[in-house]
Amino acid sequence: MAASRALQEARKHAIPTARIALRGESLLTNPRYNKGTSFTHRERKDFGLTGRLPSGVNTLDEQIERAYEQLSSRHDPLRKNTFLQSLKDQNWVLYFALVSKHLKELVPIIYTPTEADAIAQYSHLFRRSEGLYLTFSDRETMEEEFLEQTVKQGREIDLVVCTDAEAILGIGDQGVGGIAISAAKSVMYTLIGGVDPARSLSVMLDVGTDSEKLLNDRLYVGWKHKRVRGEEYDQFLDKFVQLVRKYYPHSLLHFEDFAAKNAYHLLMRYRNQHAVFNDDIQGTGAVTLACLMAAIGVANDHAHNKKGSLASQRYVIMGAGSAGLGIATQIRDAIATADHVSKEEACGKFWMVDREGLVYDIGEGMAKGVGEIKGRLEGFVRSADEGWKGDVSLLDVVKQVKPTVLIGCSTAAGAFSQEVIQAMMDGGCERPIVFPLSNPSRLVEAKPEDIMNWTNGRALVATGSPFPPVKMHVDGREKEFRIAECNNALIYPGLGFGAVLAKTKELTDKMIVAGAHRLAELSPAIRRRHGKNEDHAGEALLPDFEEAPKINFEIGVAVAEEVVREGDSGVDGLKVTDVRERAKEKVWVPLYADYEYDPKGEVW
């Protein structure tokens, strides 16, 4: 496994030494420095631990083995989640080393989907605080509370993950329980992106909740008040953002699980002031863009046509919500960047379809199917002058537009019918690029197996949920097609790592596109084609999630290199040629250091 190989590689290097001021119980209860039974006999004597631990000294590998046995004895996913949360509260190195070794198995336990259940029961499972809680009712003392948990403790922060918990993991408004998604996202940045957990901060912006269930729950631990909105909300968020900018100007500020309206508003308001990122918008768009780049590369090779590009495609996207718009925006910006066309011209290559049909202008500031035209949707609304009338179905659009790319994020199960896919091919598309991305799998627009059968194995497919390989007979022989999973975790930790590595002041479109390009280059389908001078041979368009740590390291390097090229790095004298070595030095790996006692040493 990639994560295990990373640990093995790290062990080849010299074990670092840390000078620690903590002793006794304060050391054993500090998750950053606690080693449990891995404290050596010399360390136990120096730090007042003799008699506080059993006599045996374990290696980290032995601790991982024991912890995994304990974890495996719990069969319910939520109980596994609770066990791992308890382990994280006790010992960071052991926690991250265990999850790294069993990455593909345990990420669904510590993140989606199991974390959603833990968040929903947060007030009934509460054990200890796990981040910074900033509450609207205490807004006058926000700076004091922020400083107490950061600057006054001598903390250096590279990453801040915040949420107001209005749109959590498909389960909606979860109030103060949202702190768990901020913490889980921070974990993913460490686990897959190599960001030092001591340099990340998880924040809950408690502006109330509109959940009657939570407001009527006597055990609810958040602020029992309806959600604050409008100008008061904006002022509260702005005060927080300005604190981050003031005290940690080179940090990455990640907005997580805000409702779509606020998510776009915050991203647009601050993206030119600070390095900010929204995974729901930019991460989804970036991983889809990378998958698309790989698919175009494969299609070009098959057709012996090297002129195919992002700008030469025609895109039909079913789903005009935040995910669909995020994907369309990211691809549009990449077209503008890579093919040197205006964003307005790039918008003309997209047709957005919702459940009621094509989104087009019907006059007086209104669009068919979505109502009022505003915000980011505006550029993607088709003109009625093109001849559209009434409800224009997906099939009607495909027949008239003759798209080369069909993307679904509508949760309209089965929307990509055989007739729709056949219409793509009838329109002259030799290798249709079809991405049914809706989650969960029961809501997917079309099953990969069906798409491949309908196209005799010619389609290039990626999904939003994991699907097994498709086995079928093509031209008289059995062939297996691996289906790429468009998983945001294949790119956003690397985007974040690259941003903090180069200390960028902004996370620009070019930086995100650079990360997407690097991910596309690492596509198994592209590597197979280049390595053997043949078609993609059924390989997936994106790497397997098991490779995520290695892949995100490469993405981080690509992003940091672009930061340097743009002249936006906050690291004095950093050159493009220096980035990879700096990345190797900065990536955090869960290994124990040797401790020496120093009363003036580290305490956090």
Q: Please enumerate, by residue number, every residue annotated as part of a binding site for (S)-malate.
A: 439, 487
> Which residues is 200 bridged to in the sheet?
159
Q: Is the dihedral of CA 85, 86, 89, 91 positive or negative?
A: negative
Tell me the CA distances in angstroms from 50 to 36, 37, 592, 601, one per residue in order.
Answer: 12, 11, 19, 21
Q: Rounded CA gap, 133 and 112, in Å?
A: 22
State the SS3 of 364-425: CCEECCCEECCHHHHHHCECHHHCCCCCCCHHHHHHHHCCCEEEECCCCCCCCCHHHHHHHH
Give the DSSP letter of residue 593.
Answer: P
| 79: amino acid identity, one letter | R
**Which position among 185, 368, 447, 503 bears the catalytic label?**
185
Is 185 labeled as catalytic in the residue annotation?
Answer: yes
Helices (H) and strands (E) in the chain, counts: 25, 19
Place of tokens 């700076």: 143
What is the separation of C-alpha 532 from the centre of its chain, rounded to a whole number of angstroms?
A: 32
Q: Rounded CA gap, 346 and 325, in Å?
A: 14
314 in helix, strand or coil? coil
Helix (H) or strand (E) holding 233: helix 230-247
Q: Rounded CA gap, 571 and 574, in Å?
A: 6
Binding positions: 256-257, 280, 439, 487
Binding positions for a divalent metal cation: 256-257, 280
Angle at 225 between CA 219 and CA 227, to 5 degrees: 125
Q: Rounded CA gap, 518 and 556, in Å?
A: 9
Is 152 labeled as catalytic in the residue annotation?
Answer: no
Helix (H) or strand (E) holding 296: helix 284-303
Q: Which of 463, 439, 485 is nearest to 116 (CA)?
A: 439
**Which position among 95, 111, 220, 360 bears the catalytic label?**
111
Q: Which residues contact 17 (CB under 8 A, 6 or more apart)?
A: 593, 594, 595, 596
CB atoms near residue 170 (< 10 Å) = 12
Residue 454 — φ and ψ, nearest 5°? -65, -25
The string of DSSP letters for 205-220 reads EE-----HHHHT-TT-
CB 317 within 8 A of CB 349: no
Tokens standing for residue 585? 């030095």
Q: Which residues contact 341 (CB under 8 A, 6 or more apart)?
A: 311, 335
Q: Which of 326, 327, 296, 291 is nearest to 311 (CA)?
A: 296
The residues carrying an active-site annotation are 111, 185
